[in-house]
């Protein structure tokens, strides 16, 4: 029993060791890609709304920049 | 196969350590902590961009004032310099431990890995920081992430290089599961790890360039501190592109020697030509001196202080002098031509000057016979890479690059030249039906290590030419306590095919001791003593007083851990995967340089609306 547990440790050791480094990196990249895609989709939708309503809410800056 | 090969390893490990389970807990703890760290970083980034926190902005501004650069350059570069030096130290220490002690005995057993992992992760974080910090569009080349968030090219590339290197870790494990724990630096996944970190030095220069352009020409002149950092950056590129040579630096290269001059010429041509173009007269020499100071410091800590095997490093001073001298001619006004001529100069006169240093301190000097093939490989590579270095210099000094097709063509040609030279370098012959007959004479033991001298007759006697690359005995992985675990003895030639030791070699304990012969295309070895390695199911190869053994391929001895039963196609797939990753990285850096050059320099502080020229 102990033996099989030890086998797992050695077989996986560098992958396990690497998790602390690469997992957050992949997480961050995934989130940024998701944010960028969502923003592009929202921008497209707003553009469509502008085209149909031609209202004042353009897709210009509204990020609260002082 | 994996379980089979690992099962004995475990019983072997159990003799030495008890802490496997605890280490697993430790790793799980670390992993949980890492997810928390990842989430925390995302949270900080989100809060900063939503302007709900100000401390990150304030910290960036403070660093920006100190370094006379925008916050999104000053803070990430400070972090980058710290982390890349940490990773460099971890890398050199790790290689030296493997050479002195062999493969890792178990999880978390190698302290150097922490420095590498931490260093590469913070490298990624530094790139992300450069992307997250700027509220306004950071310069004309910035890349749109969202409508209100633009990231500098250098930051994206820095994060990309960090990510590429980090992905090397899990792939490295997959690689070792399939192919065994091959102890060589030039495993494909190892090349990802060191390549990502090595090339990231270039991204730091890109980022600094974007920052310099953003502050504009009106700002006060850069002080000596900034100048030093710029010189250091090129020293960093010298070191970053020298990572592929490390096996040669330790004297345990597992590939033909002709690679060494080519790698030195390529790294020198690229880094020193670009340094000279960006920073003017003397820059190549200062960059080379800073590189050797840094490498020297790391080598000092790893070798004499930590007791691991000693490593040397190419000086690049000859190459730097050549670049400086060519820089005094009118050629310097035509950067591409300057790069071409500089590259050729580095690969000829520069290498000749370097050879004096190599012959003086390296464990394996360059024989005269190396030059024809060395020049045939180094000159085309360094000439083209020199032009690439010149293009980087042009980007960094706002000179217009040649057309897109020419620029990309030069990079592609360089890659092809490097690929061709590498393919040639990797070809080697193992002699058939050749043997070595040893007569070992016991010498006084050192501690509990048995030592012996050898009288060796090669059969056929004319196997080795008059000027071979080396006929030597190498002992390695003998344990740090035993002469740092490395032993090299160049044999004295007594007559045709007749050689003898000049110093007693270790033939007991954990050592792997072998006779190595490298003569032009021939690269081969004969085992003298290989310790029994139950971890990989390998029996001891004892050193006998009288023995005749056949010449075999070196990697069967140097990489005994390698699994010979793996189908060739898997190896090909593995190599191709890593090749694609490397080409993507080079493609990314080329794209970044082109993008930085595409947008005309600005004279005022960058205050661009998020719309426009993304």
List, as one string, the DSSP characters of B281-337. TTHHHHHHHHHHHHHHHHHHIIIIIT-PPP------HHHHHHHHHHHTSGGGGSHHH
From 3.10.450, 2.120.10, 2.60.40, 1.10.490, which CATH number describes the B435-552 domain?
Answer: 2.60.40
- Which among B134, B261, B61, B10 has a CA at the least distance from the CA of B608? B134
Among B1-10, B169-178, B393-402, the range with the most confident prediction by mean pLDDT is B393-402
B133 to chain A, closest Cα gap in Å = 14
For residue B26, the model assigns a pLDDT of: 61
Mean pLDDT of B328-354: 96
Q: Percent of chain B having pLDDT more than 90?
A: 70
Point out the residue among B113, B147, B166 whose CB comes nearest to the CB of A59.
B147
Is the pLDDT reported for residue A35 higher than 60? yes
Split at pLDDT 50, 70, 90, the class of A65 is very low
For residue A16, what is the nearest residue in chain B, using CA coordinates?
B27
**How do residues B275-298 score in pLDDT, each as one tens digit?**
999 999 999 999 999 999 999 999
Identify the three-state secondary structure at position B436. Answer: strand
- Which among B55, B63, B218, B212 has a CA at the least distance from the CA of B138? B212
Point out the residue among B13, B34, B38 whose CB comes nearest to the CB of A10.
B13
Look at residue A62 and tell me if it is in a domain. Answer: no
Is the pLDDT reported for residue A48 higher than 70? yes
For residue B183, the model assigns a pLDDT of: 67
For residue B437, the model assigns a pLDDT of: 96
For residue B177, what is the nearest residue in chain A, using CA coordinates?
A11
For residue B221, the model assigns a pLDDT of: 79
What CA–CA distance (Å, rounded) separates B258 from B370? 7
Mean pLDDT of B141-167: 93
Across chain B, what does the average pLDDT equal?
88
The more confidently predicted of residues B421 and B599 is B421
Which long-range contacts (C-beta less than 8 Å, at least 24 apart) are formed by B130-133?
B130/B72, B130/B73, B130/B76, B130/B154, B130/B155, B130/B158, B130/B159, B130/B207, B131/A32, B131/B72, B131/B155, B131/B156, B131/B159, B132/B45, B132/B48, B132/B49, B133/B48, B133/B56, B133/B57, B133/B60, B133/B71, B133/B72, B133/B75, B133/B76
Identify the three-state secondary structure at position B411. Answer: helix
Q: What is the CA radius of gyration of chain B?
A: 26
Is the pLDDT reported for residue B28 higher than 90? no
Look at residue A48 and tell me if it is in a domain. Answer: yes
Judge: B117–A17 Cβ closer than 8 Å, yes or no: yes
Is the pLDDT reported for residue B245 higher than 90? yes
ipTM of the prediction greater than 0.90, yes or no: no
Residues 6+ apart with CB under 8 A from B200: B80, B84, B123, B127, B157, B158, B161, B162, B165, B240
For residue A57, the model assigns a pLDDT of: 42
Residues on chain A touching B177 (C-beta within 8 angstroms):
11
Residues on chain B touching A40 (C-beta within 8 angstroms):
146
Please check whether residue B462 is in contact with residue B496, taking contact to mean a CB–CB distance below 8 angstroms. Answer: yes
Identify from A2, A11, A21 which residue to disrupt to test chain B contact, counting B C-beta atoms within 10 A and taking the largest count.
Answer: A21
For residue B289, the model assigns a pLDDT of: 97
Judge: B9–A10 Cβ closer than 8 Å, yes or no: yes
A53 to chain B, closest Cα gap in Å = 21
Split at pLDDT 50, 70, 90, the class of A21 is low
For residue B550, the model assigns a pLDDT of: 95
Cβ atoms < 10 Å from Cβ of B444: 7
Split at pLDDT 50, 70, 90, the class of A14 is low
Residues on chain A touching B169 (C-beta within 8 angstroms):
14-15, 17-18, 21-22
Residues on chain A touching B118 (C-beta within 8 angstroms):
21
Judge: B121–A32 Cβ closer than 8 Å, yes or no: no
Domains identified in chain A, total number: 1
- Which among A61, A35, A43 has a CA at the least distance from the CA of B608? A61
Residues on chain B touching A19 (C-beta within 8 angstroms):
27, 30-31, 34
Mean pLDDT of B183-200: 86
Judge: A18–B169 Cβ closer than 8 Å, yes or no: yes
Judge: A22–B609 Cβ closer than 8 Å, yes or no: no
Q: Percent of chain B having pLDDT more than 70?
A: 90
How many Cβ contacts (< 8 angstroms) between chains A and B? 143
Residues on chain A touching B178 (C-beta within 8 angstroms):
none
For chain A, which residues lie within 8 Å of any Cβ of chain B, measuring from their own Cβ? 2-3, 5-29, 31-32, 35-36, 39-40, 43, 59-61, 63-65
- Which among B226, B212, B589, B167 has a CA at the least distance from the CA of B415? B589
A31 to chain B, closest Cα gap in Å = 8
Structure tokens at B331: 């050629």
A30 to chain B, closest Cα gap in Å = 11
B191 to chain A, closest Cα gap in Å = 16
For residue B519, the model assigns a pLDDT of: 95
What CA–CA distance (Å, rounded) separates B227 from B225? 5
Mean pLDDT of B458-463: 94
Q: Which phi and psi (to 5°) does residue A11 adopt?
A: -60, -35
Region at B485 (left for phi over 0; alpha for psi -120 to 50; beta for the rest): left
For residue B610, the model assigns a pLDDT of: 39
Is the pLDDT reported for residue B10 higher than 50? no
B57 in reach of chain A (CB within 8 A): no
Mean pLDDT of B390-407: 94
From residue B530, give the alpha-carbon distance in Å to each of B181, B361, B480, B499, B560: 17, 28, 17, 21, 10
Is the pLDDT reported for residue A19 higher than 90? no
For residue A25, what is the nearest residue in chain B, using CA coordinates?
B163
Point out the residue among A2, A16, A22 whose CB comes nearest to the CB of B166.
A22
Is the pLDDT reported for residue B108 higher than 70? no
Per mean pLDDT, which range of B67-81, B528-542, B579-593 is the poorest?
A: B528-542
Point out the residue among A10, A27, A60 whose CB comes nearest to the CB of B6.
A10
Domain B221-429+585-596 indexed as CATH 1.20.1450: yes
Mean pLDDT of B319-348: 96
A44 to chain B, closest Cα gap in Å = 11
Structural domain span for residue A35: 20-52
Judge: B38–A13 Cβ closer than 8 Å, yes or no: no
For residue B349, the model assigns a pLDDT of: 97
Point out the residue among A10, A29, A59 whose CB comes nearest to the CB of B106.
A10
The residue extents of the domains of chain B are 49-207, 221-429+585-596, 435-552
What CA–CA distance (Å, rounded) separates B115 from B121? 10
Residues 595-614 of B with CB under 8 A from A: 609-611
Look at residue A13 and tell me if it is in a domain. Answer: no
What CA–CA distance (Å, rounded) separates B98 from B104? 7
**How do residues B573-585 score in pLDDT, each as one tens digit?**
878 888 898 899 9
Residues on chain A touching B11 (C-beta within 8 angstroms):
3
């Amino acid at each position: 029993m102990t033996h099989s547990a030890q086998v797992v440790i050695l077989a996986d050791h560098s992958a396990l060791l690497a998790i602390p480094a690469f997992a957050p990196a992949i997480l961050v990249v995934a989130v940024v890609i998701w944010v960028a895609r969502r923003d592009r989709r929202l921008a497209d939708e707003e553009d469509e709304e502008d085209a149909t309503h031609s209202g004042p809410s353009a897709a210009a800056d509204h990020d609260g920049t002082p | 196969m994996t379980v089979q090969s690992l099962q004995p390893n475990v019983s072997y490990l159990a003799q030495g350590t008890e802490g496997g389970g605890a280490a697993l807990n430790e790793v799980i703890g670390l992993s949980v902590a890492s997810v928390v760290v990842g989430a925390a970083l995302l949270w900080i980034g989100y809060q900063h961009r939503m302007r709900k926190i100000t401390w990150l902005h304030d910290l960036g501004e403070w660093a920006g004032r100190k370094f006379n650069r925008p916050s999104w350059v000053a803070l990430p570069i400070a972090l980058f310099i710290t982390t890349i030096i940490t990773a460099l130290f971890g890398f050199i220490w790790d290689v030296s431990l493997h050479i002195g002690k062999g493969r890792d005995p178990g999880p978390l057993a190698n302290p150097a890995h922490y420095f590498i992992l931490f260093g590469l992760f913070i490298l990624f974080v530094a790139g992300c920081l450069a992307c997250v910090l700027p509220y306004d569009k950071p310069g004309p080349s910035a890349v749109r992430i969202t409508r209100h968030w633009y990231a500098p090219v250098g930051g994206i590339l820095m994060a990309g290089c960090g990510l590429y290197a980090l992905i090397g870790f899990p792939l490295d494990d997959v690689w070792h599961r399939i192919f065994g724990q091959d102890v060589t630096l030039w495993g494909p996944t190892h090349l990802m790890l060191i390549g990502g970190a090595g090339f990231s030095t270039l991204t730091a220069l890109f980022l600094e360039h974007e920052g310099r352009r953003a502050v504009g020409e009106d700002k006060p002149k850069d002080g000596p501190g900034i100048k030093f950092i710029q010189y250091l950056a090129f020293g960093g590129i010298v070191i970053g592109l020298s990572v592929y040579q490390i096996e040669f630096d330790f004297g345990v290269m597992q590939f033909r020697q002709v690679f060494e001059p080519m790698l030195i010429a390529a790294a020198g041509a690229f880094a020193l030509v670009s340094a000279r173009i960006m920073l003017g007269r003397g820059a190549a020499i200062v960059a080379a001196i800073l590189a050797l100071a840094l490498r020297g410091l790391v080598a000092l800590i790893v070798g004499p202080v930590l007791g691991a095997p000693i490593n040397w490093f190419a000086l690049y001073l000859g190459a730097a002098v050549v670049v400086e001298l060519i820089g005094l001619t009118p050629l310097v006004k035509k950067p591409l031509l300057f790069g071409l001529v500089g590259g050729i100069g580095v690969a000829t006169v520069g290498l000749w000057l370097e050879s004096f240093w190599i012959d003086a301190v390296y464990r394996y000097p360059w024989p005269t016979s190396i030059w024809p093939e060395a020049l045939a490989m180094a000159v085309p590579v360094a000439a083209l890479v020199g032009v690439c270095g010149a293009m980087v210099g042009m980007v960094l000094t706002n000179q217009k690059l040649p057309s897109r097709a020419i620029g990309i063509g030069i990079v592609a040609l360089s890659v092809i030249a490097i690929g061709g030279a590498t393919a040639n370098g990797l070809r080697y012959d193992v002699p058939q039906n050749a043997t070595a007959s040893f007569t070992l004479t016991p010498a006084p033991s050192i501690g509990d290590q048995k030592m012996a001298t050898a009288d060796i007759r090669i059969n056929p006697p004319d196997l080795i030419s008059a000027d071979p690359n080396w006929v030597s005995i190498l002992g390695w992985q003998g344990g740090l306590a035993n002469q740092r675990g490395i032993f090299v003895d160049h044999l004295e030639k007594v007559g045709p095919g007749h050689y003898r030791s000049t110093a007693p070699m270790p033939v007991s304990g954990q050592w792997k001791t072998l006779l190595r012969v490298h003569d032009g295309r021939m690269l081969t070895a004969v085992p003298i003593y290989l310790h029994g390695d139950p971890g990989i199911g390998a029996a001891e190869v004892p050193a006998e007083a009288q023995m005749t053994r056949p010449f075999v391929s070196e990697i069967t001895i140097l990489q005994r851990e390698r699994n010979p039963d793996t189908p060739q196609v898997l190896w090909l797939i593995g190599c191709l995967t890593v090749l694609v990753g490397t080409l993507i990285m080079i493609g990314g850096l080329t794209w970044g340089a082109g993008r930085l050059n595409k947008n005309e320099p600005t004279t005022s502080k960058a205050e661009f609306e998020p719309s426009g020229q993304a």
